[in-house]
Amino acid sequence: MDAAPFRFDHVGSLLRPVRLQEARARAMEGKCSADELRAVEDDCIREVVRRQEEVGLDAVTDGEYRRTFFHTDFLQRLGGVTIEEGEFKAAFRKDDGTTVGFKPPTMHITGKITHDEPIQGRDFDFLKAATTRTPKVTIPSPSMLHFRGGRKAIDEAVYPSLDDFYADLSAAYADEIADLADRGCRYLQMDDTNLAYLCDDAIRESTRARGDDPDELTHTYCRLFNEAIKSRPADMKVCVHLCRGNFKSAWVAQGGYEPVAEILFNEMNIDGFFLEYDDQRSGDFAPLRFVPKGKRVVLGLMTTKHPELESKADLERRIEEAAKYVPLDQLCVSPQCGFSSTAHGNDLTESDQWRKLALLKEVAEEVWG
């Protein structure tokens, strides 16, 4: 497959090396300048690009090495957005039943949403120059600015009408995407937790309780995506990754894709869907029956939350099961999420990370040739 998403792909974030973690800590203490930190980031990104190429990835990212969080680092650079301490009440849970005491920062809309300057442009230029493969940009989905805070997080004096908020938000994203396109970006992934959270019965109920209809939100978010990308070049591939929460190997939501599948797969005008399918929390493959021709599904069969290496036979069997609902030619394979959606990283080592990616490469070659 010579176009994104690729048969063997990945979500984007990678574990931060110790050298980078130490430099970032020094920077936070005022002991390292922004230029000095960026020089360390540059060196570490060159190395992680080389490792991705060696493991056989056609799509290469910067590992999100310049970010602390997958979403707020980007979103707070839009005009009108302010960041406050975490207010989102869903707890992060681990598979052993323990919880992780963390709440991500919450975005509040205190002014008109604007795109005042390129956000990913400089980082993309560096990545593009560092690889011979396809440089892939990962950014948070625009719906991340709405779902967690809802109407209460958007100043009614600034946006009496949510339609105007969505219009400004999609326009700001369109400006960013146009800038990336001009720089040569042809593979863009938007990372979204909200649509996966809307697969969780408890979160759907809490969403109704605050006055939002879960199904209408799914329609709204699809329109928001479509408006944001409608002017992209014809050869720019755009995908979305649906995530149920990923912080220090802990998660937030559970539930299969059935509640959003028919709307999502048919109304979102994108090229591919990265779907988590690493455990029973993700449900079965039946929702894939709604995937239309021309769109690809990247099966996130391998977990990034645990170091244990999956069985190649089990991974290949699960691809066969998925192919009962959507043609094998429309399927790809990847880890279920990033290895480090935040700078904190998941509970495994860099060695574990590369072993897992190498195994997925073998699986892809055996399944698709």
Q: What pLDDT, on a 0 to 100 scale, did the predictor assign at position 341?
A: 65
Q: What is the mean pLDDT of the chain?
A: 89
Q: What pLDDT, on a 0 to 100 scale, did the predictor assign at position 346?
A: 60
Q: What pLDDT, on a 0 to 100 scale, did the predictor assign at position 343?
A: 61
Span 206-233, mean pLDDT?
93
Q: What pLDDT, on a 0 to 100 scale, did the predictor assign at position 249?
A: 44
Q: What pLDDT, on a 0 to 100 scale, did the predictor assign at position 52?
A: 98
Could you read off the pLDDT of 39-76 as tens digits, one per residue? 999 999 999 999 999 999 999 999 999 987 767 788 88
Could you read off the pLDDT of 101-147 as tens digits, one per residue? 556 677 899 999 999 999 999 999 999 999 999 999 999 999 988 87
Q: Indicate the pLDDT class of residue 193, thresholds 50, 70 and 90.
A: confident
92 and 104 in contact (C-beta within 8 Å)?
A: no
**Residue 315 above 80 pLDDT?**
yes
14 and 61 in contact (C-beta within 8 Å)?
A: yes
Q: What pLDDT, on a 0 to 100 scale, did the predictor assign at position 99?
A: 53
**Residue 176 above 70 pLDDT?**
yes
Span 221-249, mean pLDDT?
87
Could you read off the pLDDT of 352-368 as tens digits, one per residue? 999 999 999 999 999 99
118: left (phi over 0), alpha (psi -120 to 50) or beta: beta
> What is the model's pTM?
0.91
The residue written with tokens 């020089």 in the block is: 39
Q: What pLDDT, on a 0 to 100 scale, did the predictor assign at position 338?
A: 87
Q: What pLDDT, on a 0 to 100 scale, did the predictor assign at position 256?
A: 86
Q: Indicate the pLDDT class of residue 278, thresholds 50, 70 and 90.
A: confident
H helix runs in 56-200, sequence order: 72-75, 121-130, 162-182, 194-197
Q: What pLDDT, on a 0 to 100 scale, did the predictor assign at position 20?
A: 92
211 and 260 in contact (C-beta within 8 Å)?
A: no
For residue 234, CA distances in Å to 14, 43, 186, 271, 297 come to 29, 33, 9, 11, 20
Structure tokens given for 324: 């009962």
Span of 119-133, 193-207, 211-225, 310-324 with lowest mean pLDDT = 193-207
Q: Indicate the pLDDT class of residue 345, thresholds 50, 70 and 90.
A: low
Q: Indicate the pLDDT class of residue 229, thresholds 50, 70 and 90.
A: very high
Q: What pLDDT, on a 0 to 100 scale, did the predictor assign at position 245?
A: 62
Q: What pLDDT, on a 0 to 100 scale, did the predictor assign at position 91?
A: 58
Q: What pLDDT, on a 0 to 100 scale, did the predictor assign at position 103?
A: 62
**Amino acid identity, residue 327?**
P
- H or E element, residue 299: strand 296-302
